[in-house]
Amino acid sequence: MTTPTRILPAGDRALLVELDSEPLVVSLTERLRRTPVPGMEDVLPAARTVLVTTTPRTDLDEVRRALRTMTVDLEAHDHTGVPESEPVTIPVRYDGADLADVAGLLRMSRDDVIAAHTAATWRCVFIGFAPGFAYLSCGDDRLTVPRRAQSRTVVPAGSVALAGGYGAVYPRSSPGGWQIIGTTDSPMWNLDAEPPALLQPGRRVRFVDEETL
């Protein structure tokens, strides 16, 4: 399979690889983690792109060629040879302040929202906004809601939220505009752990209703 890929300049120490789907982003990220290209310093996957940063004086033309080769036969969820780890389980109390609003926006009952949220297998696509803030996606388009019209100045750590087609858990108290549907005690960010973020790009996640445990 040939993947339409653009490799865009991002200065003299980085390249931005643009892919045509989210699963391809996850695949390229995993490939780069297994086989770093020469001079690579770090990799940052996002919605449709992977930023590859390099150490000073790396020959970016060489990196570009290596990335080109790597993306030619890239396929979605390419886990060849790497057994996929079990999903991370996150127990949730579905007591979020926006749960009723989310149900209204989705024309679903509160219980249907919870059922859809717990039935889906989510995947961490990228981390952004704050340390450990994982953007999770799932195949279920029914859970797509907009951000709140008014952002909250304080969203407590452990808030389980939805917005813009993504799910997330706030790793620490911060301002935020996502719709909060529940709360978890699972620590998303722990500086004493390696890596400190519970979820890494590519990692799968299942939410479980605490009431059913």
Residues that bind another protein (CB under 8 A): 8-14, 16, 18, 29, 41-51, 53, 56, 126-135, 171, 191, 195-197, 200-201
Name the minimum Å distance from CB 208 to another protein. Answer: 24
Which tokens in the block code for residue 125? 């696509």
CA geometry: angle 145, 146, 150, nearest 5 deg? 135
Name the minimum Å distance from CB 46 to another protein. Answer: 4
Shorter beta-carbon distance to another protein: residue 25 or 180:
25
Which tokens in the block code for residue 50? 């992977």
Using the 8-state DSSP alphabet, how is residue 101 labeled?
H
Name the minimum Å distance from CB 76 to another protein. Answer: 17
- The Cα 147–Cα 111 span in angstroms is 21
- The Cα 28–Cα 49 span in angstroms is 10
Provide the 3-class DSSP secondary structure of residue 111. helix
Shorter beta-carbon distance to another protein: residue 41 or 95:
41
Shorter beta-carbon distance to another protein: residue 14 or 74:
14
Q: Residues 75, 1: contact at Cβ < 8 Å?
A: yes
Shorter beta-carbon distance to another protein: residue 129 or 210:
129
CA 91 to chain centre: 18
Name the minimum Å distance from CB 178 to another protein. Answer: 14
Name the minimum Å distance from CB 101 to another protein. Answer: 22
- The Cα 192–Cα 187 span in angstroms is 12
Shorter beta-carbon distance to another protein: residue 12 or 211:
12
Q: First and final CA of the chain: distance in angstroms?
A: 43
